[in-house]
Amino acid sequence: MLFLYALFLRTVDTLRLHKEEGQTTAEYALVILAAAAVAVVLIAWARSSGKLPAFFDSVIDSVIGDAAAA
């Protein structure tokens, strides 16, 4: 994660050395790519650890319990 942040900062600094037209768009694109990378890592971890199915089961059980109580 720290590597992605360092890469992001380095890329942004490189972009600032060039013409600044479109700089904001490039920064937004890099932030979106970094967020997507973090999401992929979290999803991969959740799938491999078995936490994701347990989380969804607890959410469904909670919703069903609240619906039954109402």
Half-sphere exposure for 65 (CA within 13 Å, toward CB): 6
pTM above 0.75, yes or no: no
Of residues 70 and 54, the one with the higher pLDDT is 54
- 36-60: pLDDT as tens digits: 999 999 888 888 888 778 888 899 9
Q: Sign of the C-alpha dihedral, residues 27, 33, 39, 42?
A: negative
Instruction: Give the Å distances, CA to CA, from 8 to 35, 39, 44, 48, 50.
Output: 11, 16, 22, 27, 31
Q: What are the residue ranges spanned by the domains of the chain? A: 2-69
- 2-43: pLDDT as tens digits: 667 777 767 766 656 555 666 677 888 999 999 999 999 988
Alpha helices for the chain (secondary structure H): 2-17, 23-49, 51-69
Q: How many Å apart are CA 31 and CA 1, to the nearest integer?
A: 13
State the pLDDT at residue 14.
Answer: 65
